[in-house]
Amino acid sequence: MKKASAIAAILLTVIMISSACSGSAKIKSGTYVSAGTENSLSAGVVLENKNEFILYVDIFSYCPVGTYTVDGNTLTLSAADDEVYIFTIKGKELIFESGEWLEKSIDKGAVFKLENE
């Protein structure tokens, strides 16, 4: 019985340590905006508290919506019809990495900054 209790305590400790060391970046909800450049339009990502997002580009009426996840420093936006947009989280900035629809308007590496910070 003592052996089972000791094993349970060790397993619980290991689980708690692994959870604390997971290293996922924290991300604030809010609006992240990318300024347009000569080759790129301005765009924004609105992250809501319920892990939902809205993605927009200034001149388009189409705005993908869906849910987002954070794994390490990677933000993944998943919209309808298997649309996926990938960003790297760097402090209070999002760096655009990939996403077919957005790549038509925004350069890879575009920086999205959290508004009102």
pLDDT at 67: 97
Contact 33, 97 (CB under 8 A): no
Domains identified in the chain and CATH numbers: 24-114 (2.40.128.300)
pLDDT of 81 higher than 80: no
34 three-state secondary structure = strand
Q: What is the pLDDT of residues 11-49, one digit of tens each?
A: 333 333 333 334 567 899 999 999 766 667 789 999 999
Place of tokens 């890879």: 108
Contact 85, 79 (CB under 8 A): yes
Q: What is the pLDDT of residues 53-68, one digit of tens each?
A: 999 998 888 899 999 9
pLDDT at 58: 83
Distance CA 27, CA 116 (A): 15
Q: Chain-wide mean pLDDT for the chain?
A: 80
What percentage of residues in the chain have a pLDDT greater than 70? Answer: 75
pLDDT at 108: 92
Beta bridge partners of 1: none
What is the model's pTM? 0.75
